[in-house]
Amino acid sequence: MGSIRELNQQLLTKERSAVEIAQAAIDRIQALEPKLHSFLCVTAERAIEQARQVDAQIAAGEAIGLLAGIPIGIKDNLCTKGVPTTCASKILQNFVPPYESTVTQKLKVAGAVMVGKTNLDEFAMGSSTENSAFQTTANPWDLTRIPGGSSGGSAAAVAADECAIALGSDTGGSIRLPASFCGVVGMKPTYGLVSRYGLVAYASSLDQIGPFARSVEDAAILLGAIAGHDPKDSTSLKVEIPDYAANLKPELKPGLARWRDSRNLWRRLGGCG
Amino acid sequence: MIRETFGEGLEGAVEEAVRKAIEQFASMGAEVQEISCPRFRYGLPTYYIIAPSEASANLARYDGVKYGLRTEEADNLMSMYTQTRAQGFGAEVKRRIMVGTYVLSAGYYDAYYLKAQKVRTLIKQDFERAFEQVDVLVCPTAPNTAFKAGERTEDPISMYLTDLMTIPVNLAGLPALSVPCGFDAQGMPIGLQLIGNVLQEEQLLQVAYAYEQATEWHKQMAAIE
């Protein structure tokens, strides 16, 4: 599918339209899902409609952001207005949220194209995605193995190129573990960096939303898009968000020690503990 | 590197890949130090008290009244609550609700929940001490690679042990990421965990990016049969 910057370039040079990119992702999902089971719900129509809007913006000569037209998978414990949000639990099987989570709202505004809701261990409780009430996701590297959990659907979908990037949640390793098992990049941000508004709560003092990607740069771009203070989450931190992807260098910079003065940040911010 | 993560229970291929990654960092000019986080190993039991406690409170809202499933078999309110929850939740969710309710109950609160909160602070202090000496901590993301479906479903403890290396990070509220660092003999990916200090995402991503650009692991894609 390509990296975020590659896809963005294709859109800007009109090599491919956002609808073509979205359709390619949906075709791949339909071809692989019988083996992988990473998605609980594929939002094909909605994706094409979102992509059409991005194409209209490009046609009108409007500037688009890096995430515009990028296919993304969303863990099914993040509330999406009008789209079922089940937490892979029978108890929420028919739940359609009347509101949008802050992170998915931010991605919507950025023009990212949601292709579907990804599988997880029920209420994010598990390390293999086998605790889903609906299906067990396979590891793209060996279909007889588990993808890790609890964000196993998001990790498998990114590893199998069903979408370029995905969102997960991490309470005790639920992003990093499946990222490790599926050979992709997964990040849990500092508690409070990303708003939890609209994330179905498991353990509120530990839960944090974060990105999955096939490269560090893509993870940095996605993190930058979802991070930031949100008055709707009382544990959200009031901090400035740097452009994480802007200054990535292929070498280790000397003088990283300038960061050290942040040692007591927690206390200053009045964070947990 | 965190000394305590290179102990018993770590798969050989994982240890080898992570040690190679550390050598890679050293060859790129990083100053590698072995750091001790002696309370790291208490992360797992601490988590399995705190997380179920919070879960038992958070999941109390699924009672069949406000949203989601409601059983049709009940003939009174109490039986509607209990039957909806009995039918709606899976085994692992029920286990955690029961553990959480137990450790929060009168008489056990001090022995379990309160103690776990104190240990949580000690784990956080281990990290604080470590970050007085280094910028980024490195260890395996998991002690093993992906296992076969069904292999650990009957044994919750063996499943919980998979999160041994990731849990302390959540307890301390720190940022961390996993980046590919190799494959085992079965061709399954291995992850390297990089842990940063509070709000040091920019630095963490920079370190991960430099490693990624110096290696080829992230370029390999799964070939799905």
Are A92 and B131 a contacting pair at CB < 8 A?
A: no
Q: Catalytic annotation on A232?
A: no
Which chain A residues are within 8 Å of B147, Cβ to Cβ? 128, 145-146
pLDDT of amino acid A3: 98
pLDDT of amino acid B100: 97
* Letter string b/e over residues A129-168, b meaning 16 or more CB atoms within 10 A of that residue's CB: bbbbbebbbbbbbbeebbbbbbbbbbbbbbbbbbbbbbbb
- In whole angstroms, give the CA distance from residue A273 to residue B15: 32
- In whole angstroms, give the CA distance from residue A42 to residue B197: 37
Of residues A17, A38, A75, A132, which has the active-site annotation? A75
Are B92 and A242 a contacting pair at CB < 8 A?
A: no
Which chain A residues are within 8 Å of B149, Cβ to Cβ? 128, 130, 136, 138, 144-146
Which chain B residues are within 8 Å of A143, Cβ to Cβ? 224-225
The residue ranges of chain B whose pLDDT is under 50 are none
pLDDT of amino acid B68: 87
Find residues 37-76 of chain A whose CB sits inside 8 Å of chain B: none
Query: Could you tell me if A235 lies within 8 Å of chain B, comparing CB atoms?
Result: no
Which of B170, B205, B221 lies nearest to residue A244, judging by beta carbons? B205
Q: Catalytic annotation on A75?
A: yes
Q: Which two tokens stand for residue A237?
A: 């931190």
- Interface confidence, given as ipTM, is 0.97
Which of B84, B121, B142 lies nearest to residue A273, judging by beta carbons? B121
pLDDT of amino acid A261: 46
Are A146 and B197 a contacting pair at CB < 8 A?
A: no
- In whole angstroms, give the CA distance from residue B155 to residue B14: 22
pLDDT of amino acid B158: 87
Please choose, from the candidates A12, A19, A20, A82, the residue with its C-alpha nearest in 3D space to the C-alpha of residue A53.
A19
Which chain B residues are within 8 Å of A247, Cβ to Cβ? 202, 206
Please choose, from the candidates B23, B9, B225, B17, the residue with its C-alpha nearest in 3D space to the C-alpha of residue B140.
B17
Query: Could you tell me if A257 lies within 8 Å of chain B, comparing CB atoms?
Result: yes
CATH code of the domain occupying A4-269? 3.90.1300.10
Q: Which two tokens stand for residue A269?
A: 């911010």
Q: Which of B209, B215, B220 to mutate to test the interface with A (most CBs of A within 10 A)?
A: B209
Which chain A residues are within 8 Å of B162, Cβ to Cβ? 127-128, 148, 173, 177
Are B193 and A256 a contacting pair at CB < 8 A?
A: no
pLDDT tens, per residue, chain A with 273 residues = 899 999 999 999 999 999 999 999 999 999 999 999 999 999 999 999 999 999 999 999 999 999 999 999 999 999 999 999 999 999 999 999 999 999 999 999 999 999 999 999 999 999 999 999 999 999 999 999 999 999 999 999 999 999 999 999 999 999 999 999 999 999 999 999 999 999 999 999 999 999 999 999 999 999 999 999 999 999 999 999 999 999 899 988 755 544 444 444 444 444 433
- In whole angstroms, give the CA distance from residue B203 to residue B145: 27
Are A216 and B142 a contacting pair at CB < 8 A?
A: no
Please name the residue ranges forming H helices in A111-175.
152-159
Q: Catalytic annotation on A150?
A: yes
Q: Which residue of B has its CA nearest to A199?
A: B58
B172, B123 contact by CB (below 8 A): yes
Are A130 and B174 a contacting pair at CB < 8 A?
A: no
CA distance A45 to chain B (A): 25
pLDDT of amino acid A254: 58
Q: 3-class secondary structure for chain B?
A: CEHHHHCCCCCHHHHHHHHHHHHHHHHCCCCCCCECCCCHHHHHHHHHHHHHHHHHHHHHHCCCCCCCCCCCCCCCHHHHHHHHHHHHCCHHHHHHHHHHHHHHCCCCCHHHHHHHHHHHHHHHHHHHHHHHHCCEEEEECCCCCCCECCCCCCCHHHHHHHHCCCHHHHHHCCCEEEEEEEECCCCCEEEEEEEECCCCHHHHHHHHHHHHHHCCHHHCCCCCC
Find residues 87-146 of chain A whose CB sits inside 8 Å of chain B: 89-95, 121-123, 125-128, 130-131, 133, 136, 138-146
Which chain B residues are within 8 Å of A91, Cβ to Cβ? 62, 68-69, 84-85, 88-89
B161, B8 contact by CB (below 8 A): no
Q: Residue B56, Cα to own-chain centre: how many angstroms?
A: 19
- In whole angstroms, give the CA distance from residue A244 to residue A221: 7
B32, B26 contact by CB (below 8 A): yes
Are B205 and A273 a contacting pair at CB < 8 A?
A: no
Which chain B residues are within 8 Å of A211, Cβ to Cβ? none
pLDDT of amino acid A259: 45
